[in-house]
Structure 1
Amino acid sequence: MKCDKKAMLLYAVTDRVWVGERSLYEQVEAALKNGVTCIQLREKNLDEDAFLAEAMALSKLCKQYHVPFIVNDNVDIAIQCGADGVHVGQEDMSISDVRARVGDGMIIGVSAHTVDEALEAVKNGADYLGLGAVFSTSTKTDVNQMSNATLKAICSAVHVPTVAIGGISGKNILQLSGSGVDGVAVVSAIFAAEDSGAATAELLALAREMLQVHS
């Protein structure tokens, strides 16, 4: 299964830190109703049973909206819930091992921080790349900020879809115009918002503007 670059336009990565009056399911549904183009479920602290139950529910929900559903890191959960894909970092299972587990039908996304990492990932079968952190971010403290020059160099060097990630908000998204990325991945810009649906609609409009500028 090849990844459609249109799915990268507005890619939401979940974080339950901001779950409160609304459940994560409700936040994701609000984002889906307002045009988000891809959902990644990222859970670092849930036990396997709770993770699987959540993944099953969100996988079904995303299918209703015809939006790709990606599971972060956990290949077993991705397989069990019928996810469209799995995303792995540089320190996670090798891409070849992931492919052997999931088969040819599942999307594999890979995080990359340099041109060499990006080329190696694509060579090994990555269907899309997550590039960053493009701005400073509190979500991942172990990743250095990527320069705009590196971002452009990676986008020019690979043929697979690319999504920028890291500290992206409505205030800085247009700074990525002309970089060559196919879209943006956001965490707090949607899930920390008081109204995740309204935040999604605003970010979607800005993501489209970003691409129009660069095209």
Structure 2
Amino acid sequence: MAPAFDLTLYLVTDPCLTAQHGLEATVEAAAKNGVTLVQLRDPQAHGRALVQQARALKALLAPLGIPLLVNDRVDVAMAAGADGVHLGQDDMTPQDARALMGQEAIIGLSVGSPAELAGSDLTGVDYLGTGPIRATGTKANAGAAIGPQGLAAVRALTLLPIVGIGAVTADNAGDVIRAGADGIAVVSAICAAQDVGAATAHLRARIEDAR
């Protein structure tokens, strides 16, 4: 399976929200202030532009030892030399992604409930993205909010690492960790911040406090 990775503070990018500072500047500030994993997510970008973005982020993150994943697009991840992918329930299966990307890739899967977990083939999966914790405006098809209690219900059914996602902020990060998550994944809490570095450091501190 994949090499060791750290879900503690997982940044998922959003092209609209990173526009105020720029994608690379946002990711760099977050990476230098406590982010441990980055996922490039841009549903509107075409393949070529997405590959260029991924290559730029990989060049920025690799010297810092922070893995880069690409949302949904196995082809883009492979072309850009990214460290892995995060897949939804309707994307390529993790098993097929693993066959294409090899044993060194990090492969995540979105699971929103115990029922969805029970219906998922976890072959090739390294971690689960579970949520949304609260209703979120950054992903239209995210499903119903499950709260920390819903995450805890998924946690009870699997030994895979779990990252809680979906409107996670500094205010509820501790609740997500205490519910059994190995880390939190955030979009707006970092990408929309006026001071990205300070927001990242504050989130990281809340996680460590909860632990």
83-92 or 120-129, which deviates more: 120-129
26-35 or 16-25, which deviates more: 16-25
Aligned to 1:156: 156
TM-superposed CA distance for 1:118, in Å, is 2.6
Matches within 5 A, 1:28-47: 28-47=27-46
Matched, 1:24 2:5: no
- Matched to 1:46, the amino acid is A
Rounded to whole Å, the distance in 1 between the matches of 2:25 and 2:189 is 16
TM-superposed CA distance for 1:207, in Å, is 1.2
- Matched to 2:197, the amino acid is G
Rounded to whole Å, the distance in 2 between the matches of 1:95 and 1:118 is 13
Given that residues 132 and 164 in structure 2 are in contact (C-alpha distance below 8 angstroms), is that contact kept between their aligned partners in structure 1?
Answer: yes
Aligned to 2:78: 79
Unaligned runs of 5+ in 2: none
Unaligned runs of 5+ in 1: none
Rounded to whole Å, the distance in 2 between the matches of 1:24 and 1:207 is 24
TM-superposed CA distance for 1:62, in Å, is 1.1
Identity among equivalent pairs (%): 40
Matches within 5 A, 1:191-202: 191-202=191-202
Aligned to 1:98: 97
Rounded to whole Å, the distance in 2 between the matches of 1:177 and 1:37 is 15
Given that residues 177 and 184 in structure 2 are in contact (C-alpha distance below 8 angstroms), is that contact kept between their aligned partners in structure 1?
Answer: no
The TM-score normalised by the length of structure 2 is 0.93
SS in 1 for 2:169: coil
Rounded to whole Å, the distance in 1 between the matches of 2:31 and 2:65 is 9
Aligned to 1:179: 179
The TM-score normalised by the length of structure 1 is 0.91
